[in-house]
Homo-oligomer: A and B are copies of this chain.
Amino acid sequence: MSSPIVGILMGSESDRAVMEETAKMLERFGVPYEVIVSSAHRHPKRTREYVQSAADRGIKVIIAGAGMAAHLPGVLASETTLPVIGVPLPGSALNGVDSLYSIVQMPAGVPVAAMAIGTHGAKNAAIFAVEILALADPELRQKLADYRADWSRS
């Protein structure tokens, strides 16, 4: 099996149910990925080391799902120049508005690409990663076109 080119991170085990949608969508496109549970606040060193070595290990796109004060995508983005996609997760009393604002309102200099709150965003994070990867991979581009065509027909 190929080595992973997308890293899916999440802050805690409780985020796995939603972020599984990201993994499933990548599988559909045959994009190899790895899943890491590593919190920006709980495991700052592990999280940092992961992202600092990601590019060298062949990772091209990073997807991070996080809830509440969702710092994970921004913290990852501050340690890499790989594209980082953030998925705000609901589950708090504010139902994801807190994580959306914590992910999307990044100051100039360190971008994070925010997706929709929850499952829709988790799926779209994978598709967006595929759109990025397809720029240099004609075969993947074709798969993407086929996916869209299939999807539009259904």
* Chain A residues within CB distance 8 Å of chain B: 11-12, 39-46, 48, 60, 67-69, 71, 74-75, 77-79, 81-83, 85, 90, 92-111, 113-120, 123-125, 127-128, 131-136, 141, 144-145, 148, 151-152
Contacts and interface: CB of A to CB of B under 8 A. Distances in A.
How many copies altogether?
A: 8
A115 B116 contact: no
B114 A41 contact: no
A5 to B, nearest CB: 10
Contact of A81 (B67, B71, B110, B141): B141
A28 to B, nearest CB: 12
Given A41-B107, A68-B105, 10 more contacts: A45-B152, A69-B105, A83-B132, A92-B116, A92-B120, A93-B95, A94-B101, A109-B124, A113-B114, A136-B136
